[in-house]
Amino acid sequence: MSKLYFTRHGQTIWNVEGKVCGATDIELTELGHEQAKELGEHIKADKDIKIDEIVASPLVRAKNTAEHISGITGIPMHTDMRVIEQNFGKYEGGGRRSEEFTAAKNHFVDNFDGGESMLKVAARVYNILDEMKKDEDKTYLIVAHNGIARIVNSYFYDMTNEEFASYGIKNCELLCYEFKD
């Protein structure tokens, strides 16, 4: 049974400010760079973690996180557009905990006035996960975003609409999943 590892990028200023980052290309903070380096050191030191390849979102916050991990561990990396964060349209840069955005996250078909629906995001993320599942000889680490974390989790576990909409992970938190037949 092959494994998949997942992490969210390091901290950004918009994370600190409680803003919706989405597809907006936001840099890591100094702490975000440190979080990524610490995760790289953790992966390198843990003999039970065996990763063959890192696949990262091309957004700078995830790409830089993956570059730090790759540089420390020696694990090769590349970017893939399929794990880029959802474009939240009119909510980009707005309050992440606002009542309006919290309610909107339950509308899975909505494109948020110029963004991308969660259903379309799930289709592209499920596509890459299906490919990784077939590649039984490799263990991947995906370095992406909180919205992608929720979709990856839904691939492996049944979730209610409320669980899906509220699911989130910390910056540089490392999750492990097992592909099942």
Q: Which positions are annotated as active-site residues?
A: 9, 85
Measured CA angle at 140 (ends 55, 138), to 5 deg: 125
Helix boundaries (H) for the chain: 13-17, 30-45, 60-73, 99-104, 118-134, 146-156, 161-166
- Per the structure block, which two tokens stand in for 76? 């090769």
Which 3 state secondary structure label does DSSP give 90?
helix
Of 145, 167, 141, give the one whose Cα is nearest residue 70.
141
Residue 103 CB: number of other CB atoms within 10 A?
Answer: 10
Distance of CA 138 to the CA centre of its chain: 19
Q: How far is CA 96 from CA 4, 8, 27, in A?
A: 28, 16, 17
Q: Distance (Å, rounded) from C-alpha 96 to C-alpha 51?
A: 32
Q: Are 119 and 125 in contact (CB under 8 A)?
A: no
